[in-house]
Structure 1
Amino acid sequence: MPGDIVTRELKEPITLVEYLYRRLYEVGIRSIHGVPGDYNLQALDYAPGCGLTWVGNCNELNAGYAADGYARIKGIAALITTFGVGELSAINAIAGAYSEYVPIVHIVGQPKTASQRDGMLLHHTLGNGDYNVFVDMNAKVTCAVARLNDALEAPILIDDAIRECWIRSRPVYITLPTDMVQQKVEGKRLETPIDLANAPNDPEKEEYVVSLILRLLHEAKDPVILVDACAIRHRVLAEVHDLVEQSGLPTFVAPMGKGAVNETHPNYGGVYAGDGSKKGVQERIEQSDLILNIGAIKSDFNTAGFTYRIGQLKSIDFHSSYIRVRYSEYPNLSMKGVLRNVVQRLGKLNIGSVPHVSNSMPPQELESKDQTITHAWLWPIVGQWLQENDIFITETGTANFGAWSTRFPKDVTAISQTLWGSIGYSVGACHGAALAAKDENSNRRTILFVGDGSFQLTAQEVSTMLRQKLRPIIFVICNNGYTIERFIHGWDQSYNDIQQWNFIEIPSAFGGKRDEYQTHQVKTRRELTDLLANEDFSAGQYLQLVELYMPQYDAPLALESTATASAKQNQRK
């Protein structure tokens, strides 16, 4: 048989699925998220032998969110779903990862190649014989598609897809038909690791741009640095750190860039989000005559409703594939090499003042005798309670906007979905992030702040956290529904209301044992400060779930201004 001849010619035969899994292990993945289905079951059998742990989520959407959170900690993640029904349940999460530059390898178990070729009327199809329709859908929200229909080319396709996933920091889509799982491929290729290095910049072009940037930096009377999400996603934080340290320049972050720089550094001046900035920050940024914009994503929520007032004439934009200096763009130039070269040749610069940023309580809150937990009071308290190396996750709502005003301890990783903003994302991401920390054998705390409305969409993932013996600290903000939507439209409309849950009963309802979790109900400031002062609670030795009661119509000022701008944008003719 021709297949036997090919197998005999292989130097080190290995099944296709083992090749795929070993490549995933090579790039740092230790756990695979997903939901079992008949088209991926056989492939799942091989995961343990390749050093991979199968998670098994409650649904594919949650699995996609969890893979997103995992990737933001580990650098890359894997998701396995089944053909049609499974992959479409996950596509919202994959689209979010694409939008926010998060690398996920999405593997889809498919019917065997002959069934696809013959257009058989199988379950999970549309009943029209079209086996390309779901591939075409996913191709729109991934940066590479690898269809493993041929054993000879499969290893090359796998390696190329994983490399694209890593380099471009976006999801890729790999199909694995059932009859290809056990096909033999060349295992000797595994001796050569996938090349994950960025292609070097053209030296002459890089030298020209670096010289131009240095000239403008030295001419500037008041330059500043502004760091955003793509600095994190495209792995230039080491270069950013050195730039901040050696330049001495005032340094700010955009909301999506929270955690990108050491916020205890004396250069750190806070979060710039246009009109959503804390007092003094907006004025300081906008009066600068040169802004080094590193990895910017200028979306509406990231700019507090497009209220940035930074002219392009005084901006230098650093991105993964181009540099823009004022109005001149230089394509095919990676910021990593340019930043490193700039740092090495900085010299002395003009350095202006840095706004003071702290977690101190506003005077009106400090003097208040009211025991109501407001956002103005809460977020300074949270900032004081956070510890070095925490993983801090916030839902895109009051929590995310409130976190803008905190000053993080060193090496805190912030996770939110500010651009895609899929409601309920943070609960799945919390599971993935906590699992990633566990896979790294670290003792990092994973902390989640999520609204009661958002929590109801993905609450099942708490059961997966319990099954995986994870220990996140989850604060459910109980304020009677969808607050960010209320501020945008429908202040008292019933569509922004929710059914009230007994959140503290959820771990028990999901089968948690009493020694695996603790629950708390907090309605006053004193109760919260006492809880945060409790060493047993703060140590994160159990899954902790806190009902945190706040007023229905209270929100951070940054959310109020952003929601107002969003409402105007929605109504604009």
Structure 2
Amino acid sequence: MSNEITIVEYLFKRLHQLGIRSVHGVPGDYNLVALDHLAPAGLNWVGNCNELNAGYAADGYARINGISALITTFGVGELSALAAVAGSYSERVPVVHIVGTPSTLSQKKGALLHHTLGNGDFSVFANMSRFISQVLVNLNNPDIAAREIDRALRACYVSSHPVYIALPTDMVLRKICAKGLESPLDLSLHPNDRETEDDVIANITKMIYSANNAVVLVDACAARHRVINEVHDFIDKSQLPAFSTPMSKGDIDETNPRFGGVYVGSVSRPDVKEAVEAADLIFSIGALKSDFNSGGFTYHTSTKRTIELHSDYTKIGHATYPDINMKSVLQRLLSSLDFHKIRHTESAKSNPPLLKNEEVEKSSSSEITHSWFWPHIGNWLQENDVVITETGTSNFGIIETRFPKGVTAISQVLWGSIGYSVGACQGAALAVKELSPSRRVILFVGDGSFQLTGNEVSTMIRHGLKPIIVIINNDGYTIERMIHGEDASYNDIQSWKHTNILETFGAKEGEFANYVVKTRKDVDALFKKGNEFSKANKIQLVELFMPKLDAPRALKITGKMSEKLNAKMEETVI
């Protein structure tokens, strides 16, 4: 290896070493020279329809690949991506946001350049990203550029949060020492204080041995901070009933006989609610108790009887242990616990059957309802599918779907930006193509959400991706209707001809397929295992019609809770 390398080459080679193979973004004059060096570093340029879509796609790519990169241009480009990057920060997704900026000389002079506010302040946009980035670095000094790149990339991976890297145009080709590339990045966690961890292990062990019917509750940060293997080992060895949350849907193997369902506080199915809340110990891993993830803050569990493991602290009852990360704690528990001493009673049943909906059982209607569709679609899913659901009816409906082994679920329950899922589908499908092309990618998105980012289907076609896109046509923003304004005009949308979209975006004859599904018989005919549609060997779009005011059970309850909560907050302000 040469002793010197350009800053941009160093950066891109580091991305490649982290396992990134494709970079999302939109070209702009402040990043064009940098983009010339992607291919030589072994990176593929995606080229999205806009920066917001690119940010969503980078998020989806990272959830499959483990980390991703996004490149935008200064000002107009980076600001267009901000909502997506904020979502990745909120949801703990590691995205490297690289921004091409004007030259250091122009910035020093305060030049009146395009894409600026015309006031000579070149720091204002980076400052906007400061609060949604784990680390913000500016590669304006060649002497420390390599160290700053490594610092940012390590922070991105370890924290599972986005980072911001500013790359001025006159720094792109500046030479720096290449020696750092000879050693892989140190991605190890900071070790826990041994004495404190010993105390944590002793207290957890005592509580677990004393419990009669403990349960495991797995949440989003278990996957985000890469402890799912340890979680599965713990469930298998302890044989404790295990439950997930909406944000961790799919993280636990749902074919495991110890899987009990999805716990969403008072929004849970009655059997799940009873099993979790009757437990005398909750072993919580990676909790993120947001409103939609906790059933409107309706967890009825005792803090005194809860052990919480997090990425940067551990909580046992009312005692908090800062800087004690869950990976080390779980690994020590797996090696030190006598699992024969762990007991549980039948009051904490696992793997209950899906509830039968009385309305569905008695109804002879042919229309497709949420209560019928979501449990039904579980029979069609295959092992290792990637299932992406949109903020809205799909996010709540998928709770009722039992997954085969190895299914990965992607959703945005906390940030909740409508339109997210279409971009995320592109990124996820691309990562799947690179890593395991035999996996199917299935998107469920509402007609309202699709209108925000539907043009990203064009990028899917461009890169030969083959997702199954199910557009749920229920005539508008149904999730908003469930919260407020059932018949309000602001929840209405313009009707689109969805089955013309693939052809409009350039899909070639024979390389795509469209379907319209209006009845339960249509669903059964199309979503049939083994047929051509299910092979997913081309990009396919399904327009599936549901009643305008029909919604999943969980959304109906949560919608009313949200309306009441919003009303209370308004009363407090007044």
* Residues 1:475 and 2:451 are matched in the alignment: no
Task: Check the 8 A contact 1:254/1:271 in 2, yes or no.
Answer: yes
Q: CA deviation at 1:362?
A: 3.6
The match for 1:131 is: 122
Residues 31 and 100, structure 2, Cα contact 8 Å, conserved in 1: yes
The answer on 1:177 being equivalent to 2:173 is no
Per-residue CA deviations over 1:423-466 (Å, capped at 9, x if unaligned) read 10000000000000011143111111000000000000000000
In the alignment, is the contact (CA less than 8 A) between 2:218 and 2:245 conserved in 1?
yes
- Name the aligned partner's letter for residue 135 of structure 1: A
Equivalent position of 2:554 in the other structure: 558
1:349 aligned residue: 342
Q: Pick one of 197, 208, 231 that aligns with 2:199.
A: 208
The residue that corresponds to 1:7 in the other structure is none
Amino acid at match of 1:351: H
Question: Deviations for 1:201-239, whole angstroms, at most 9, x for unmatched residues?
Answer: 112111110110000011112110000000000000011
User: What residue number does 1:568 align with?
Assistant: 564
Matched, 1:523 2:514: no
**Residue in 1 that maps onto 2:43:** 52
1:150 pairs, out of 137, 141, 152, with 141
Q: How far off is 1:248 after superposition?
A: 0.5
Q: C-alpha deviations, 1:461-519, integer Å up to 9, x for none? A: 00000001000001000000000100111110000000000111001111111222111
Output aligned runs, 1:102-251, within 5 Å.
102-251=93-242
Task: Give, as a single letter, the amino acid of the residue that structure 1 aligns with 2:344.
Answer: I
The CA deviation at 1:275 is: 1.7
**Aligned-partner Cα distance in 2 for 1:264–1:556:** 23
Q: Secondary structure at the match of 1:460?
A: helix
CA contact (8 A) 1:250 1:352 kept: no
* Match of residue 360 from structure 2: 365
Partner of 1:4: none
Deviation at 1:279? 2.5
Return the letter of the residue paired with 1:267: R
* Correspondences of 1:89-488 after superposition (within 5 Å): 89-347=80-338, 348-353=341-346, 354-358=349-353, 362=357, 364-488=359-483
CA contact (8 A) 1:395 1:416 kept: yes
Q: Give the distance between the partners of 1:359 and 1:546, measured in 2 at CA.
A: 26
In the alignment, structure 1 residue 19 sits paired with structure 2 residue 19: no
Letter paired with 1:15: T
Asked whether the equivalents of residues 59 and 427 of structure 2 are also in contact (C-alpha less than 8 Å), the reply is: yes
Answering whether residue 533 of structure 2 is matched by residue 540 of structure 1, we say no
In structure 1, C-alpha distance between the alignment counterparts of 2:473 and 2:49, rounded to whole Å = 24
How far residue 358 of structure 1 moved from its aligned partner, in angstroms, is: 4.1
- Alpha-carbon deviation of 1:276? 1.5
Mapped contact 2:384–2:406 kept (Cα < 8 A): yes
Aligned-residue offset at 1:333: 0.6
> In terms of mean alpha carbon deviation, does 557-566 or 435-444 score higher?
435-444
Displacement of 1:289 after TM fit?
1.0
Separation in structure 1 between the aligned mates of residue 350 and residue 365 of structure 2, nearest angstrom: 30
Question: Which amino acid in the other structure matches residue 140 of structure 2?
Answer: N
Distance in 1 (CA, whole Å) between partners of 2:195 and 2:402 is 41
Q: Which moved more, 1:20-29 or 1:441-450?
A: 441-450
CA contact (8 A) 2:257 2:350 kept: no
Query: Among 24, 28, 36, which residue is 1:33 paired with?
Result: 24
Check whether the contact 1:358–1:407 (CA below 8 A) recurs between aligned residues. no
Q: CA deviation at 1:320?
A: 0.2
Alignment partner of 2:504 out of 509, 516, 523: 509
Q: Work out whether residues 57 and 63 of structure 1, in 8 Å CA contact, stay in contact via their aligned partners in 2.
A: yes
Asked whether the 8 Å contact 2:271–2:352 carries over to 1, the reply is: no
Q: TM-score, normalised by structure 1?
A: 0.97
Tell me, what secondary structure is at the counterpart of 1:102?
coil
Q: Distance in 1 between matches of 2:269 and 2:450?
A: 28
Q: Are residues 290 and 441 of structure 1, via their aligned partners in 2, closer, same or farther at CA, if it must alter by over 3 Å?
A: closer
Secondary structure at 2:186 match in 1: coil
What is the alpha-carbon distance in structure 2 between the residues aligned to residue 177 and residue 415 of structure 1? 34
Uncovered stretches (5+) of structure 1, i.e. residues with no partner: 1-9
SS at match of 1:464: helix
Give the SS at the match of 2:400: coil
Q: Distance in 2 between matches of 1:59 and 1:358?
A: 44
**RMSD (Å), alpha carbons:** 1.2
Tell me the amino acid that sits aligned with residue 350 of structure 1. R
Distance in 1 between residues matched to 2:359 and 2:560, nearest whole Å: 24
CA distance in 1, matches of 2:539, 2:2: 49
Q: Aligned pair 1:64/2:55, yes or no?
A: yes
Post-superposition Cα deviations, 1:54-100, rounded to whole Å, max 9, x if no partner, equal 00000000000000000000000000000000000000000000000
CA distance in 2, matches of 1:166, 1:442: 24
Q: Percent identity?
A: 55
Matched position secondary structure for 1:274: coil
Q: What letter is aligned with 1:114?
A: L
